[in-house]
Amino acid sequence: MTLETMPFSRALNAGLRKAMEDDPRVLLMGEDIGKLGGVFRITEHLQRDFGDKRVLDTPLAESGIVGTAIGLTMTGFRPVIEIQFDGFVFPAFDQITTQLAKLTNRHEGTITMPIVIRIPYGGHIGAVEHHQESPEAYFAHTPGLRVVSPSTPNDAYWMIQEAIRSNDPIIFMEPKSKYWQKGEVDLEQSAVPLHASRVVRTGTDVTLVGHGAMVTTLLEAAAIADGEGTSCEVVDVRSLSPVDYGPILDSARKTGRMVYAQEAHGFTSLGSEIAATVMERAFYALEAPVLRVSGYDTPFPPAKLEGTFLPDADRILEAVDRSLAY
């Protein structure tokens, strides 16, 4: 075991570096990712070390970036695309959802699309509109795409490598508020399966479930609840499509209660889908309905109001209290 403490951002950088060292077909594409190293410096020094034919600065044209990557994939490359901010992905939405997601099925499986699209998403950075959104449900709703979101530096390091090795297109959602979070990375562990959810805190009274940056908030809420005599189990979804329901259902059946929390809007969201599935498949084990805590169904507000819009530990604990009251 080789443990190294590093920020989430550097873990991603190290994971990309390892993937490029292991496979010469891997190349990086995006706006300002070369000499600058990207807005969040995720690709810092990679162009210096691998050259500008493997780390490509592109024009500001997201649709063109994805379309070019699709063509490169058909000639044997494995592109990794960086979208600068979550709200900037929509100019490429047509290429992603009507071309990339469907090409393998359209060709009856004779071609694969090993493309990773990295999207920094979510709030808590005090930015303006189109820089703090959570669009993961759009992509999880689209057959043909796989969607994942790490919540720790260790997962960031391993999941980006697993995503690059996949022969399917992966939407890799990076919680940008965690870029500066430090944590231990085991550089020698066996990679955790990319599409596996995981219990990150055990408990007996209520199951708390979420993904990305919200996992940290759930752990905070669980610690507070524990001090008040309520034992909360926390499950990190990790893979948003497909969802690994095993650990989620096992936990819900054990505790009899579940709260799902997310930064994204609540209506027709990942939380909606997981709540409905747990209600269907674990109904007779539940002592209360599955409750959801989410961002409000409004456009993302100005930065000074993000603390009101985004769920915090207090809103999660209020849901826990409601669940226990049934």
Q: How, if at all, do strands 182-186 and 291-295 pair?
A: unpaired
Amino acid at 275: A
Contacts of 22 (CB under 8 A, 6+ apart): 161
Its sign, for the CA torsion 186, 117, 169, 262, is: positive
Look-up of token digits 């020094």: 45
Q: Which residue, among 281, 168, 160, 149, has the nearest Cα to 215 in the 3D structure?
A: 149
Q: What is the distance between the alpha carbons of residues 230 and 246, in angstroms, rounded to a whole number?
A: 24
Q: Which residues pair with 121 in a beta bridge?
A: 175
Q: What is the distance between the alpha carbons of residues 5 and 190, in angstroms, rounded to a whole number?
A: 18
Q: How, if at all, do strands 182-186 and 3-7 pair?
A: antiparallel
| Exposure b/e, 12-48, CB count within 10 A at least 16 = b | bbbbbbbbbeeeebbbbbbbebbeebbbbebbbebbe
> Which amino acids are annotated catalytic?
131
140 — phi, psi (to 5°)? Answer: -65, -25
Q: Which residue, among 227, 180, 51, 39, has the nearest Cα to 119 in the 3D structure?
A: 39
**Dihedral angle, C-alpha 78, 23, 116, 89, nearest 10 °:** -80
Q: Which two tokens stand for residue 248?
A: 């989620």
Q: Which residue, among 283, 279, 260, 281, has the nearest Cα to 270 in the 3D structure?
A: 260
